[in-house]
Amino acid sequence: MGRSAAFFDLDKTVIATSSALAFGRPFYRDGLITKRDVVKTAFAQFMFKRGGADDQAMVRTRDYMAELVKGWRVDQVRQIVNETLHELIDPFIYAEAATLIEEHQAAGRDIVLVSASGEEMVQPIGAQLGVTDVIATRMKVAEGQYTGEIEFYAAGPAKVEAVRKLAAERGYDLAECYAYSDSISDIPLLAAVGHPSAVNPDKALRREANERRWPVLEFRHPIPLGRRLRNRPAVPVAAALGIGVGVAIGIAWYGRRKRARAAASAP
């Protein structure tokens, strides 16, 4: 038996939100996103949801986001992510996912986060979970700024290509590896391993998982890191077993959340 690994998609699989969505507020606050960008991004998100996660939709999303970040300073983005990670991401890490990651690590498996989000976001989130191996989207950089070109877009078939390359380099036996995702776009990734699981699957993936008799996991308990450490074990993964990149939305979500908190605290 070769070495083994567990590959985790990030958004809605490990965290109960979109990583790009979560950082929308500080990007807007620091002037990286304008009101015009908000409108355009909202439209792009609407078209993506309407058209589904097919190849054309992923290409449109990729190209739009690449143009959006053109000219951003890499150090500024990293600083924003590092300063707001605890507030914006930590409360939304699924306890079930954190427990599952720990179980795989205890079994001697490597953990790899595989996400279409930028590596500047994914790597710090991985560090929160004790995960150092990341496959994520990489933007081309020149003189400390994003050029608007993409070196690698970690979505769809490109994900599984990167996984196969990593497996060849490290000697992973993919038949003994695990993979977890919520999206139908990750069918190639899930089908590449011997132990795939659909996590909080979209409608299309749930149907596909049922047809292929893949396990379906329902993660429902995002718990902050500090609370997890105090109350281990958090939520047993067995309890989650079932039967069978919108920045503008992030801004709107934050506004609704702030208003809700204000209403709750009002006399």
Q: Which residues are catalytic?
A: 9, 11
Give buried/exposed letters for 196-220 (b at 16+ CB in 10 A, else e).
Answer: bbbbbbbeebbebbeeeebbbbebe
Tokens representing residue 49 in the block: 């949801």
Tokens representing residue 173 in the block: 């036996």
Cβ contact 260:116 at 8 Å: no
Cβ contact 126:56 at 8 Å: no
Distance CA 55, CA 60 (A): 9
The one-letter amino acid at 88: L
